[in-house]
Structure 1
Amino acid sequence: MSSPASLPISRFPVPALADLPADIRERIVAVQEKSGFIPNVFLVLAHRPDEFRAFFAYHDALMDKPGNLTKAEREMIVVATSNANQCQYCVIAHGAILRIRAKNPLIADQVAINYRKADITPRQTAMLDFAMKVSFEANTVGDDDFAALAKHGFNDDDVWDIASIASFFALSNRMANVTRMRPNDEFYTLGR
């Protein structure tokens, strides 16, 4: 059996860092300098540079913006919906980010396994209930959903953010599964 470090990170070709366009290489090096390693998602998606740029532009627009959702709550949405979509990469990677942003070593496992039993607020549970509905029954979203979220202090912009994050990561989950994207070993211990 191969050691985890020797297993391929994708079923598609992974370009060498030196062969990437300068803007993509610079972004990846900046992430490496900040985190101490290169998350595999960057290398796997670099297989298609134009799509890499579009993917990360939308990712950043959703995940790094100010608003009524905290960065930890945004990560909760990713972890809960990614688990429902059976995306190992996103649950492991974003679980690590959630632990760090929430400053809670237990929260990611709780949210991934069953967010309704997790140590989160009723507001966060309502947020995740809606994110799951968007993930699996977006065609049934209606005024009652907006009213339920409003009772927890979410405005229309917040609802848009929740829906956008759940929708974007549905794309990410599917591509991670199709590419057989492997989580970096480093993610497993971050924030614990």
Structure 2
Amino acid sequence: MTINAFQVHDVATAPAGSADILKSVQEAWGFVPNLHRVLAESPAALEAYATLWSIAEKTSFTPVERNIAYLSIIYENECVYCMAGHTNLSRMAKVEDEAIAAVREDRPIADVKLEALRHFAALVTRNRGVVSQADVEAFKAAGYDNRSVLDVLVLAATKLISNYTNHLAETPLDGFMKGAEWKAPGKLKAAA
């Protein structure tokens, strides 16, 4: 159980609609992350996340770009679980350690194009999609296009499900996250 009494399911305890998805995750990853195990309580939520994750792989972004955008979105949403997980996923995708550290510390990335992506993904997340024409134009001037603008939304939607789930459930970190723990800046506060 998590702090808010969410069960961390396995295939045997998951509702019928979630068990097959958990099996697929196990086959693909070699283990089932705690996020998926928490999401399994709602077959619809687990399917939505799994589907969006798969769709995000089809965006116009390279694996490095996708991970930079994810990290930036995660930073804005202050999700300690996803920051730890995506730090190691980013390393596996060959994102430079310095770029990962920059996003985790909310500082600019040296690579101009990746910095434009980091900054734009942060603005979209922080402002819930309300960004200025100048912000969109600056993103495009760095080498992106309208497809990229919309693809940021796909990544933000994917992380909305995971980041918010982890906030609500306080999902425990997985073993593979050891060494990538992160302390959120603490800008977000629960409503009274």
Q: Please give the TM-score of this superposition, normalised by the length of structure 2.
A: 0.80
Normalized per residue, the structure richer in helix is 1
Instruction: Find the aligned partners of 1:93 and 1:9 in 2 and give their Cα distance.
Output: 20
1:148 maps to a residue whose letter is A
SS at match of 1:157: helix
Q: How many residues align?
A: 180
**Following TM superposition, by how much is the alpha carbon of 1:139 offset from its aligned partner in structure 2, in angstroms?**
5.8
1:54 and 2:48 are equivalent in the alignment: yes
Change (3 A) 1:109 1:48: same
Instruction: Find the aligned partners of 1:124 and 1:37 in 2 and give their Cα distance.
Output: 31
User: Quick check: 1:134–1:141 contact (8 Å CA) kept in 2?
Assistant: yes
Q: Map 1:8-157 to 2 at 5 A.
A: 8=2, 11-20=5-14, 24-62=18-56, 64-67=57-60, 69-102=61-94, 104-116=96-108, 118=109, 120-138=110-128, 140-157=130-147
Q: Give CA-to-partner distance per residue, 1:81-106, whole Å, 9 cap, x none.
A: 21232211110111111111025455
Q: How well do the aligned residues superpose, as a CA RMSD in angstroms?
A: 2.6
Q: Please give the TM-score of this superposition, normalised by the length of structure 1.
A: 0.80
**Following TM superposition, by how much is the alpha carbon of 1:21 offset from its aligned partner in structure 2, in angstroms?**
5.4
| Unaligned segments of structure 1, at least 5 residues | 1-6
Change (3 A) 1:106 1:187: farther
SS at match of 2:100: helix
Equivalent position of 1:183 in the other structure: 173
Change (3 A) 1:31 1:164: closer
Structure 1: 4+ residue segments shifted above 4 A? 7-10
Instruction: Find the aligned partners of 1:177 and 1:103 in 2 and give their Cα distance.
Output: 26
Change (3 A) 1:73 1:42: same
Instruction: Find the aligned partners of 2:174 and 2:138 in 1 and give their Cα distance.
Output: 38
